[in-house]
Amino acid sequence: TQGIIFIAERPWPTLDDVFAGHCPLLLGLDRVQDPGNLGTLIRTAEAAGCTGVLSFAGSADAFSPKSLRSSMGSAFRLPIISGVTDVGAVTACRSRGLKTVIASGDGDTTHFAHDWNLPTMLILGNEARGVSASLKGQCDARVRIPLHAPVESLNVAAAGAAILFEAVRQRSL
């Protein structure tokens, strides 16, 4: 460790905080287990301008020491709601006009071809198993990152960065 100790109050955002803005971009995390990956994704989400993170039940704790180290302070600035159900997250998004997009190796379209200019929640899945089967059936779109053979997949944090920054690129045009 770096030998620094501090006390901070854990933020408790509401759904209104997460869905703020005229065109929200949310990150949904479905059972992401590694605290380092989770913290890195939170940091990446803040860097990409996401309005918030929904961390589904079964994911690592966004405020564990390893997650906090990886998030580099983003966990205290970006609204994060933990422990939500996948069905609850999709329902909340739909009721607010957001599309739900799942990252999957067998996605129907590439992340470049998807229109990220709409209010959207990108859902990333578990490091070993991906997004749950129940979520795959509920989503509005499934995107994939084109990879050169023989590589079959990316680390979830690397995949999240690639997709979120494509959304940033499209939203800045």
- Cα–Cα distance for residue pair 122/64, rounded to 1 Å: 23
- Amino acid 19: pLDDT: 84
130 φ/ψ sector (left φ>0, alpha ψ -120 to 50, else beta): left
Q: What percent of the chain has pLDDT over 90?
A: 82
Question: Is the distance from CB of 27 to CB of 74 less than 8 angstroms?
Answer: no
- Cα–Cα distance for residue pair 44/31, rounded to 1 Å: 18
pTM listed for this prediction:
0.92
Q: Is the pLDDT of residue 48 over 60?
A: yes
pLDDT digits (tens, 9 = 90+) for 119-136: 999 999 999 999 999 899
pLDDT digits (tens, 9 = 90+) for 81-122: 999 998 889 999 999 999 999 999 999 999 999 999 999 999
Q: Is the pLDDT of residue 71 over 70?
A: yes
Mean pLDDT of the chain: 93
pLDDT, average across residues 24-35? 97
Q: Is the pLDDT of residue 154 over 90?
A: yes
Of the candidates 60, 19, 57, which has an alpha carbon nearest to the alpha carbon of residue 42? 60
Specify the amino acid at residue 67: S
